[in-house]
Structure 1
Amino acid sequence: MAAQQCLARQSLPTGPVTAAYERKVSAGEVRRDNAQVALAAKLDALHQSLTSLPPAPVRTYKRADSSATSSNPLSLLPARTLESAKSYLQKKFYLWSFGPPPRGIYIHGPVGVGKSFLMDLFYASVSGPDDDSCSKNGSHKHAKITKRRVHFHEFMLDVHHRVFVYKEKHPTDDALPIIAQQLAQEAQLLCFDEFQVTDVADAMILKRLFLLLLDLNVVVVATSNRAPEELYKGGINRSLFLPFIDTLKQTFDIISMEDSSVDYRRETQASGQSYFWSNKDAHGNINNHIQAQLEAVFGGPASDTKAEVISVLFGRTVQVARFNERCAWFNFSELCYQPLGAADYISLCCRFPVIIVDRVPQLDANHLNEARRFVTLIDACYESRTRLVLAAQVPLDELFVDFEAHVESDDGDGELIVNDKGGSSSSFATTMIRTKEGGYYEWSATGRVGVSLAQFSSANDLAFSFRRAASRLVEMGGKEWGRQQRLTVRSSPPLRI
């Protein structure tokens, strides 16, 4: 019976994603999973529809500080009316010539079930304009379009930076249509890994940006640990974000892998010696044996030298005190107790193929900000294939403490409680109390401390991130993980307006 099923599978026509998946199954690299097979088929269908993807229309936008000098009667119309008329005519032309652009795909589910793996197989199957590597198999018709695969953190940083640069020159103009046009010119296919919304600035920008990109015939494929209706749940001003969720459901095929419970990253034991742990002594010093292993990774003893200054987006910099040409060495407090973020970590990963972090504590609900920064660092290292070597105070399976956040109300007064394993009476519990005036403050064992509710509205998102980070650290501990050279920082080409 099994042989007949195998022959049936071989006789059925398959697209490039399914074909690549089956080759990995046959080679023993992956184990066949029904949810992954179904997702591969959906991605094959999208791949086929990309062959008739309409090109991105090139549009011009009138700046607020410019004056109409054209003799064209249409120039007498208000700028928005003129652009709306052009947009309508262009859209009608493209629909008549090419048909509607394909729907994007939004894939959500637990960590390690193969979401990014299948998306990467799909991305590799799509040929770029000058790429012939995907055309060897003559049984498949290959689209040739511009494409970009990026972690969602990095993408939003890029968008914010583009807006920042544009606003410096044109402070009164609407930057988003210009940025969307630029992104569409660079990539007709956008593949996002780890789509998540925890920042109010991102939440407010996403709906308009996505509508503009869809209007410019950009196709989006995204993976996420969150179902659409769970995005930005509990976030400040979430009611303003809800229309984006409706847009996502209307314009994307939503694929759930929630029924998959196997974290395939954990099936392979790490053998690359990238995670070391021991209880620190009374002075906080690292075990001598672990210190020697870290020095072996670094290439010798690490001592503070003249700091290297690394450039970061938005004109900022980050300093590295212990480094050589290929490796930077930090303690946890240098990277995670400081006000650093994704932009800083991405710049460090571009510069150094190896990053060592020692004195990593157990991360629980009492270290929300530090844990969030550490998870962001792990994501940056994972996406750039930077080898991350850690020396921690607890084993890897105890590094991230499970916790949950929930809102309770009693007689109109509400509180947001964040608890971990210790329970609500432990020193790790934090309670947010809402006053009758509508303000919020923190009440804890150390007394009342002013704090932003926005910090805690994304606590459950961080709990998701903990599971993803732990899974990724297992994969990153593999012997073959990493790269040898520094990366070239991506720069945006100028856009003609």
Structure 2
Amino acid sequence: MKAVMKNMTAKHCVARRSILTGPVTAAYERKINAGEVQRDDAQVALAAKFDALYVSLASLPPVPVRTEELTESSCTSRGSLSLASAQSFLRKKFHLWSFGPPPRGLYIHGPVGVGKSFLMDLFYASVDISDDDSCCNNGSHTLKHAKITKRRVHFHEFMLDVHHRIFVYKQKHPRDDAIPIIAQQLAQEAQLLCFDEFQVTDVADAMILKRLFLFLLDWNVVVVATSNRSPDTLYEGGINRSLFLPFIDMLKHTFDIISMEDSPKDYRLATRADGQSYFWSNKDVHGDNNSKNNMQAQLEEIFGGTASGTEAEDIQVLFSRSVQVARFNDRCAWFDFAELCCQPLGAADYISLCERFPVIIMERVPQLDANHLDEARRFVTLIDACYESRTRLVLTAQVPLDELFVDFEAQVESSDEDGELIVSEKGGSSSSFATTMIRTKKGEYYEWSATGRIGVSLAQLSSANDLAFSFRRAASRLVEMGGKEWGRQ
């Protein structure tokens, strides 16, 4: 018995040492030694978590080959496929129980710039997808991985993809349940899904997520997500949030929840922009034509050459839509803020623009506060799209970068039976304060919508507060995106 216990202890020590010196930690140490990052205890701990997940991927069962029996018989002939019947079908058909439970996913939340996405990207890069078996030599322990398919995507883009797949499927099968089929497609494309900036602000997304994730987990898909929100604050204040709460419970029971809330330092702010991506000129200053002319000349230089001879280009977007570009050349598109942020555009439009142009110029960006909620939301979405695609975003504004976003809070106040939805600025760097109150004539609550129209509930209270989170992330990302090395080569 002592010999057995000693052998078990030795194996445990080897496994523990392997995790501590795993590929993510090793890559992180190389970054430190190269002077690219500073050692941070929370990041070291997160790297170890990723190393443990990397080890557990070795036992990840393969995704079964897609069959007509599931896609046609299980969904088309039966009509709507229930979650329980789908899970039972999969396990009986493919004997998934023989592999044991899949590795637990990771849900990492914390403030902006603390290294969540940075560590996730190191982990993602460490997972080999070659056709041959790969191995990672961790000291005396050699870990072999079978081929693993993977996908790293911004959560905005992922949900757009899901909605588009549902749209396409419903065109052919309007009365059938699309979610099981979509989950199967996603599982066969990627066994490892890494989401950046996980957030839920849309009721349609909220209703889809629980069933979709349960199907993905049943297909043994491993999910890693970063977020500025803890699980309990996801979709806070949203329409019919009670229907979303089971998803939060599922998330907390099936994922390892990792908080980096105690890491308030934003490492992106340590980066210094080169002064060639953000230009500002105070509109109230008169007689400074030389400065404005110089700024315009720099924009022309970045634009790089004459505009295309065609009048406009229609960039194709999901759901059979398009967005029009009036001034462009082969590598750069030039817009006014109103063209992209005062129109009913969204993530799909911005992602398509970033795929087409490696450089985007936007002029006349105003200071964004509680009076510009819809415009600010679109602007933040554009920044996220540019960041994810490494598109260079060149801006001209009326205020310095550290004054561009005015911090605010949204809350509900009630007095004398009259309820008011109040969005109040904290002031921040701004010299002015503003308060916007929205209510019905009878004192009933109103909401904002994505198009700026007044709606019928307080769901946008959540969206407004999510935008306050997004302001901090956007400001941090703009600093990083102003670096000399930023952009697609």
The residue that corresponds to 2:152 in the other structure is: 149
Once the 2 structures are TM-superposed, how far is the Cα of residue 399 of structure 1 from its aligned partner?
0.3
- The 8 Å contact of residues 305 and 322 in structure 1, kept in 2 or not, is answered as no
Q: Does 1:193 align with 2:196?
A: yes
Contact 1:16 1:140 in 2 (8 A): no
Contact preservation (8 Å) 2:108, 2:226: yes
Shift of 1:121: 0.4
3-state SS of the aligned residue for 2:48? helix
C-alpha separation in 2, matches of 1:478 and 1:402: 24
In 1, are the aligned partners of 2:438 and 2:445 still within 8 Å (CA)? no
Contact 2:420 2:445 in 1 (8 A): no
2:59 to 52, 56, 67: 52
- Aligned residue for 1:32? 39
- Displacement after TM superposition at 1:406 (Å): 1.1
Q: Does 1:123 align with 2:131?
A: no
Whether the aligned pair in 1 keeps the contact of 2:328 and 2:334 (CA below 8 Å) is yes
Distance 1:86 1:441 in 2: 43
Aligned residue in 2 for 1:265: 268
CA distance in 2, matches of 1:231, 1:90: 35
**With structure 2 as the length reference, what TM-score do the two structures score?**
0.86
Q: Which residue of 2 aligns with 1:328?
A: 333
Indicate whether 1:109 and 2:110 are aligned. yes
Q: Where do 5+ consecutive residues of structure 1 fail to align?
A: 1-8, 69-76, 443-448, 485-497
Q: Is the 8 Å Cα contact of residues 434 and 441 (structure 1) preserved in structure 2? A: no
The 2-side partners of 1:40 and 1:441 are apart by 41
The superposition leaves residues 431-480 of structure 1 with CA deviations (integer Å, 9 ceiling, x where unpaired) of 232676956379xxxxxx84454444311100000000000000000101
The count of residues paired between Structure 1 and Structure 2 equals: 458
What secondary structure is seen at the aligned counterpart in 1 of 2:486?
Answer: coil
Q: What is the rounded CA distance, in whole Å, between the counterparts of 1:279 and 1:296 in structure 2?
A: 22
Bigger shift: residues 455-464 or 158-167? 455-464
The match for 1:175 among 171, 174, 178 is 178
1:212 and 2:218 are equivalent in the alignment: no
TM-superposed CA distance for 1:383, in Å, is: 0.3
CA distance in structure 2 between the aligned counterparts of 1:136 and 1:348, rounded to whole angstroms: 42
SS in 2 for 1:297: helix
Contact 1:416 1:433 in 2 (8 A): yes
- The residue identity in structure 1 corresponding to 2:304 is G
> What is the aligned partner in structure 2 of residue 339 from structure 1?
344
Q: Distance in 2 between matches of 1:343 and 1:252?
A: 29
CA distance in 1, matches of 2:284, 2:310: 26
- 1:363 corresponds to: 368
**Deviation (angstroms), 1:410:** 3.5
Deviation, 1:199, is: 0.8
Q: Encode CA deviations 1:219-264: one digit per residue, 9 max, x unaligned.
A: 0000000000011111111111111111100100000000001110
Quote the offset at 1:90 in angstroms.
4.7
Decide whether the 8 Å contact of 2:86 with 2:180 is kept in 1: no
Q: How far apart, in 2, do the equivalents of 1:383 and 1:396 lie?
A: 20
Say whether 1:431 aligns with 2:431: no
> 2:403 aligned with 1:398, yes or no?
yes
Report whether the alignment pairs 1:256 with 2:262. Answer: no
Residue 280 of structure 1 and its aligned partner are, at CA, apart by 2.8
Q: 1:418 corresponds to which residue?
A: 423
Q: Kindly provide the amino acid, as one letter, of the partner of residue 410 in structure 2.
A: A
**Inter-partner Cα distance in structure 1 for 2:358 and 2:460:** 32
1:17 corresponds, among 24, 44, 50, to 24
Matching residue within 274, 291, 295 for 2:277: 274
Distance 1:463 1:204, change over 3 A: same
Distance 1:160 1:13, change over 3 A: closer
Stretch moving more, 302-311 or 433-442 = 433-442
Pick aligned residue for 2:297 from 265, 273, 292? 292
**TM-fit CA distance, 1:303:** 8.6
3-state SS of paired residue (1:160): helix
5+ unaligned residues in a row in structure 2: which ranges? 1-15
User: CA separation in 2, counterparts of 1:364 and 1:78?
Assistant: 46
- Deviation digits for residues 16-46 of structure 1 (CA, Å, limit 9, x no counterpart): 1001101111111110000000000011000
The 1-side partners of 2:420 and 2:223 are apart by 38
- Could you say if the C-alpha distance between residues 296 and 482 of structure 1 is closer, same or farther in structure 2, counting changes exceeding 3 Å? same
Which residue number in structure 2 is paired with residue 491 of structure 1? Answer: none
Q: Which moved more, 1:358-367 or 1:54-63?
A: 54-63
Match of 2:394 in 1: 389
Deviations 1:165-219 (A, max 9, x none): 1101111110000000000000000000000011111111111100110011000
Verify the 8 A CA contact 1:302 1:329 in the aligned structure 2. Answer: no
Partner secondary structure for residue 478 of structure 1: coil
In structure 2, the residue matched to 1:233 is 236
Give the structure-1-normalised TM-score: 0.85
How far apart, CA to CA, are the structure 1 residues paired with 2:28 and 2:335? 39
1:62-83 deviations in Å (ceiling 9; x for gaps) = 4699559xxxxxxxx9976875
Tell me the CA shift for residue 14 of structure 1: 0.8
CA contact (8 A) 1:135 1:142 kept: yes
Partner of 2:464: 459
Structure-1 residue corresponding to 2:11? none
Q: In structure 2, do the counterparts of structure 1 residues 393 and 385 end up closer, same or farther at CA, with 3 Å as the change threshold?
A: same
Change (3 A) 1:437 1:368: closer
Are 1:352 and 2:353 counterparts?
no
